[in-house]
Amino acid sequence: MSEVTTDPRRAAAVIAAGGVVAIPTETVYGLAADAENEPAVRRVFEIKGRPSDHPLIVHLARAEQVHDGWVAAFPENAALLAETCWPGPLTLLVPAGPRVHPWVTGGRTTVGIRVPAHPLATALLETFGGGVAAPSANRFGRVSPTSAAHVAADLGDDVDLILDGGECPVGVESTIVDCTVSPAQVLRPGAITEEQIGALLGSVAAASGPSRAAGMLASHYAPRCSVILVDEHAEAEATVQQLAAQGHAVAILDAKTDPVTAARTLYASLRTADERGMQYLIAVLPPAAGIGHALRDRLTKAAAPRS
């Protein structure tokens, strides 16, 4: 098993030396490397099993750092969102600066940048000083990790170090906003909601259908069990009874009663359903409002047919 630490300075040293470290953020754990170290970033893609043209987010300690070569321009809508929402669960897509290399973005001219709000991530990024490229620390197509134990279960000893920051308080990946178009467009819904962004910018294009960031597949965030989506609790109960009567192992995931808690525990619930040998998970969807957009997006992907 990989070494586990709670010391962000040790994690920063491993990243500075070209290592790959699983790091906690407020959303999910990331698989982190020095964004300017090509072999280290290539190892991130290998460990994840992810196609190398599928871009990574660059994480910085503070918003001002975007001007240290990470962006070619920082549009007004991006500046407004950064000022209000960073540090926080928001990734801004902006024109890439000279320190953003093709091995991070798959050769795109835009880069996704985020200043995370997690004390250990902040301490690590401050100590390291540069940009840290990190996708979610799961194998490609699997459920994102929201605890150090999830990372260890998924990636085993493939990473050099796991920085254990406990359970991620938000639980779903950051909201991604494309700030290179006007009005700005939400590509992946998250805890910073469409409603909040619309109020700040005056207008925003909503995510249409499941999230559309580059390389996102219909089937993603997938547990092994089959996920069935319903809108009402009564419908869930009826479906459970029907499947249980046929001898299937089936559980309910209630994302409607308390959507914020449901987001925080979503990925752990999907993992638990698999660990307990469930064949079906009946998910009760929240309304499409606030963090409900993100839950509906992730659950729709978890329920999509697998390739």
Q: Stretches 65-73, 147-155, 169-177, 296-304: which one binds ligand TXA (CB under 6 A)?
A: 169-177
Q: Which is nearer to ligand TXA, 71 or 282 (CB)?
A: 71
Q: Among Mg ion, ligand TXA, none, what does residue 185 contact (CB within 5–8 Å per kind)?
A: none
What distance in Å separates the CA atoms of residue 191 and residue 261, rounded to the nearest whole number? Answer: 12
Minimum distance, C-beta of residue 121 to ligand TXA, in the bound complex (Å) = 9
Q: Among Mg ion, ligand TXA, none, what does residue 214 contact (CB within 5–8 Å per kind)?
A: ligand TXA
Task: Give the x-and-dash track for 105-134 against ligand TXA (CB under 6 A).
Answer: x--x-xxx-x-x-----------------x
Instruction: Identify the residue among 37, 136, 269, 300 touching Mg ion (CB under 5 A).
Output: 136
CB–CB of 290/237 below 8 Å?
Answer: no
Q: Which is nearer to ligand TXA, 14 or 230 (CB)?
A: 14
Site for ligand TXA in 57-116 (CB under 6 A): 57, 91, 93, 105, 108, 110-112, 114, 116
Instruction: Identify the residue among 13, 200, 206, 216 touching ligand TXA (CB under 6 A).
Output: 216
Q: Which is nearer to ligand TXA, 112 or 286 (CB)?
A: 112
211 binds Mg ion (CB under 5 A): no
By the 10 Å C-beta count (0-12 exposed, 13-18 middle, 19+ buried), 217 is classed as: middle
Centre a 10 Å sphere on the Cβ of residue 264 and count the other Cβ atoms it contains.
Answer: 20
Q: Which is nearer to ligand TXA, 114 or 150 (CB)?
A: 114
Q: Among Mg ion, ligand TXA, none, what does residue 2 contact (CB within 5–8 Å per kind)?
A: none
Q: Stretches 14-22, 23-31, 63-71, 229-237: which one binds ligand TXA (CB under 6 A)?
A: 23-31
Q: What is the CA radius of gyration of the chain?
A: 19
SS (H, E, C) the chain: CCEEECCHHHHHHHHHCCCCEEECCCCCCEEEEECCCHHHHHHHHHHHCCCCCCCCEEECCCHHHHHCCCECCCCHHHHHHHHHHCCCCEEEEEEECCCCCHHHHCCCCEEEEECCCCHHHHHHHHHHCCCEEECECCCCCCCCCCCHHHHHHHHCCCCCEEECCCCCCCCCCCEEEECCCCCCEEEECCCCCHHHHHHHHCCCECCCCCCCCCCCCCCCCCCCCEEEEECCHHHHHHHHHHHHHCCCCEEEEECCCCHHHHHHHHHHHHHHHHHCCCCEEEEECCCCCCCHHHHHHHHHHHHCCCC
Phi and psi, residue 145, nearest 5°: -85, 135
41 binds ligand TXA (CB under 6 A): no
Q: Which is nearer to Mg ion, 123 or 192 (CB)?
A: 192
Q: Which is nearer to ligand TXA, 191 or 240 (CB)?
A: 191
Q: Per the structure block, which two tokens stand in for 273?
A: 């359903």
215 binds ligand TXA (CB under 6 A): yes
Q: Stretches 40-48, 104-112, 130-138, 226-234: which one binds Mg ion (CB under 5 A)?
A: 130-138
Q: Among ligand TXA, Mg ion, none, what does residue 55 contact (CB within 5–8 Å per kind)?
A: ligand TXA
The residues that touch Mg ion, with contacts defined as CB under 5 A, are 136
The residues that touch ligand TXA, with contacts defined as CB under 6 A, are 25, 27-28, 30, 54-57, 91, 93, 105, 108, 110-112, 114, 116, 134-136, 173-174, 176, 213-216
